[in-house]
Amino acid sequence: MERIKLTLKDGNIREVDQGLSLAEFAQSLSRSLAKSALAAKVDGQMVDLNTKLVRDAQVEFVTFENDEGKNVLRHSASHILAQAVKRLYKNVKIAIGPAIANGFYYDFDTEQPFTPEDLTKIQAEMEKIIQANLPIERMELSRDAAIQLFNELGESYKVELIQDLPEDVTISLYKQGEFTDLCAGPHVPSTGRVKAVKIQSLAGAYWRGDEKRKMLQRIYGTAFEKKAELDEYLHMLEEAAKRDHRKLGRELDLFSIHDEGPGFPFFHPNGMIIRNELENFWRKLHVKYGYQEIKTPIILNQKLWQQSGHWDHYRENMYFTNIDDEGYAVKPMNCPGGMLVYRTQHHSYRDLPLRTAELGLVHRHELSGALHGLMRVRSFTQDDAHIFMLPSQIKSEINGIIDLFDTVYRTFGLSYHAELSTKPAKAMGSDEVWETATNALREALEERKMAYKINEGDGAFYGPKIDFHLRDSIGRTWQCGTIQLDMMLPEKFDLTYVGEDGLKHRPVMVHRVVYGSIERFIGILIEHYAGAFPVWLAPVQVKILPITDRHSEYAHQLAAMMREQDIRVIVDDRNEKIGYKIREGQVEKAPYILVVGDKEVETNSVAVRKRGQGDLGAQDVSGFIATVVREIIEKVNS
C-alpha cells in the first residue's frame, strides 16, 4: 500500500498508509488526542474526522479548546436540535441552524408557536439523541438529486437554498439516524460527542433576514464538551443578568435613555461623577505620558470627509446638515480633525514623536435593533490619540502605549490579552512598509513577553493593529483598547516633516484608544463591579447615618470635614429607623456607612461599616478620613 507524508502543526512528519482516516491517524498519535479531536484541518481546510487521507498534506487537529472546535461542536448541536424538533412535531419545516458566538440556533417554520413546555420537551429529546450516540455521516449528491430528496422530505427552505447554489456544485448533506440535513460541515463524528447541551431561549426571525419574508421561530441554545463547563457558563449568564448595566443604571440613578433620543444616553449626577473621574484619570495619565490634549469640532465640511475617505466608505453611518448652502457632516471619528491640527504647523524630525489626545464626541447612525444601553449607542466620546513619529520610533512608542494601557486596565482590576492583526488581501502601502510596521508591533509584544494571538489578514487596509481584549470579574471579554498603524491618512492629508537630510518625509501615524468609548467603558465597569464601585469612583463615597435628631449636628460636622478633603459624602438624617437606613445604604452600594450616636459624639469617633466586610467597629475620625483619602489617591480597587 502506498505511504503518504503528513506534516503536523509542530513540524513533525509522520508516514502513514494511504486511505487512513483522520480519526485513525489521531488514534495512532495518542489516545488523548483521539478523545479530544472534534474535526481537523487538511492543508488549511476544515474536514470531518471520517475523511480519508489520500495524499501528502499538512494536518492540524481541532479541539474544543479553540474557536473552530467550539463551532464544530455547536453546529453539530444545532442539527441535534433540528432532529429533536422533527421527531416531536411532524409538520415543522427546518430552515437554517448555524453555530454563533457562545452557542447556536435553528430556525423553524411552524404554524403553532413553541411554548416554554415545548422547549422542555425538545431539551429532553436532544438528550436522548446524544445518549444514542448516532453516527454523523457525510453524503454528497448532485444538485438535482439533492433538490429531489428535500422535495420528497417536504423541506422547501432547503430546496430554495440549493437552488441558489451554482448548477455544477456538489451538494453535501449530513445524516444522523433518521434525520438528514443540508450542510457544508464539518461535524463531530457522532451525536454523543456533544456532551452537554442547553436550550436557552426563543425568538422570531425573518427567513433570510428579509422582513418581507415569513417570520420563523428561532430556538437558541449552547453546548459544551463537559457538563461542568456548561454549568459554569450558565452561572456566568445568571451573574451577568444580575449585573446588567441597564438595570443597575436605573437602580443607582446613573443614566437613562429616552424615546426622544434613542441611542443618545443621558447621564445623571451620579453617572457624571463616574464619567468625570474617568476623564480626570485619563487626563493626568496622558500628561504623565507626554500627550498634549486637543479639541476638534463636532461638525466639519463635507469636503473633509471626502478627502479622508469616510464619504465613500462610511457615509451610511453618518449624520449630515447644511450650513451656508454647503454640505457638512457630524463627525463619526476624530481622526480628520487631528490631521488638520498637525497641518497647522511645519514639523521637523526633532518635533517627533508628537502625541496628541482628544476626548472627542462622535456620532454614528447605528440601526435601532443594534442599540443596547451604553454598550451600543449613537453618540459617544472616544478617547482618541494620534501619534506622529519617525519609522525608527515605532517600537518605543508602541511600548509606551502598552505601558499606558497596562496602567489603566490594572487600575480597574481588568486582565487582558492582545491580538495582532496583519496585512489583509487589499491593503494600502508597500510590502516593505507593512513588514516594518507589523514587525514593530510583534517585537513590542514579544519583548514584553505578552501572550498574543495573530489574526492573519485581519488588519485594516491602512495598517496593522493590536486589539486589547479585557476580561472582567465574571470571565467575559470585551474589546476596548486598540493600537492601529495608519499608512493612509498621512498620505491623504499630505502630512510631512523635514528630516535630517532637509527633505520632506511622511510621518508614521498611530491611532489609539484605551477606553474605546467612555460610555461603553462605563457600561463595562458597571457590570464588572456589579455597581459596587471602588471608593475613588463611587458617586457617594461615605454615607453618614445619625441615630436620632440630636446626632445630626455631629453628622453634618463630620460631612463638612470630609468635604474639605474632597470626599463625596451625604448625611441621611431622615426620621427612619437606623436598620432601615443601613439596608438602604447597602442597596445603594455606598463603600462606607458611618453610624453616629451618643458614644461617637462623646469620643469623636465613627462606627464604620465597610461594603463587603460589614461592621468594622469604632474608629477615630481623623484616622478614618486618612484611610478614605489614601484609598482615593491610590485608587484602591475594592
d(CA 371, CA 362): 16
d(CA 291, CA 21): 59
The contacts of residue 176 (CB under 8 Å, 6+ apart) are 79, 80, 83, 129, 134, 135, 136, 137, 190, 191
**Strand, helix or coil for residue 14:** strand
Measured in whole angstroms, how far is the alpha carbon of residue 433 from the centre of its chain?
30
The contacts of residue 295 (CB under 8 Å, 6+ apart) are 358, 360
d(CA 509, CA 370): 32
Question: Is-contact 454 420, C-beta < 8 A?
Answer: yes
d(CA 511, CA 528): 27
Nearest to 549 by CA among 592, 578, 569, 570: 578
Farthest CA pair distance, the chain: 99
Question: Is-contact 74 223, C-beta < 8 A?
Answer: yes
Nearest to 189 by CA among 77, 20, 49, 25: 49
d(CA 470, CA 516): 12
Look at phi and psi of residue 149 and say left if phi exceeds 0, alpha if psi is from -120 to 50, else beta: alpha
- Cell 446588567 appears where? 244
DSSP string, 121-152: HHHHHHHHHHHHT-B-EEEEE-HHHHHHHHHH
DSSP summary character for residue 460? B
- Cell 451625604 appears where? 570
Q: Return the C-alpha torsion angle 564, 541, 265, 268, nearest 10.
A: -60
d(CA 15, CA 3): 6
d(CA 61, CA 217): 35
Edge-to-edge, what's the strand order for the sheet holding 171-176?
A: 137-141, 171-176, 179-182
Q: Which three cell numbers stand for residue 432?
A: 516593505
**Amino acid letter at 295?**
K
Considering only CA atoms, give the Rg of the chain. Answer: 30
Nearest to 519 by CA among 314, 359, 330: 359
Question: Is-contact 319 365, C-beta < 8 A?
Answer: yes
Identify the burial level of 204 via C-beta atoms within 10 angstroms of its C-beta, where 0-12 means exposed, 13-18 middle and 19 or more buried: exposed
Active site residues: 335, 364, 382, 384, 386, 465, 511
Nearest to 93 by CA among 106, 102, 103: 106
C-beta neighbour count of 169 within 10 angstroms: 11
**Strand, helix or coil for residue 16:** strand
Q: Which residues lie across from 348 on neighbouring strands?
A: 498
d(CA 569, CA 541): 6
- Cell 451600543 appears where? 376
Question: Is-contact 17 33, C-beta < 8 A?
Answer: no
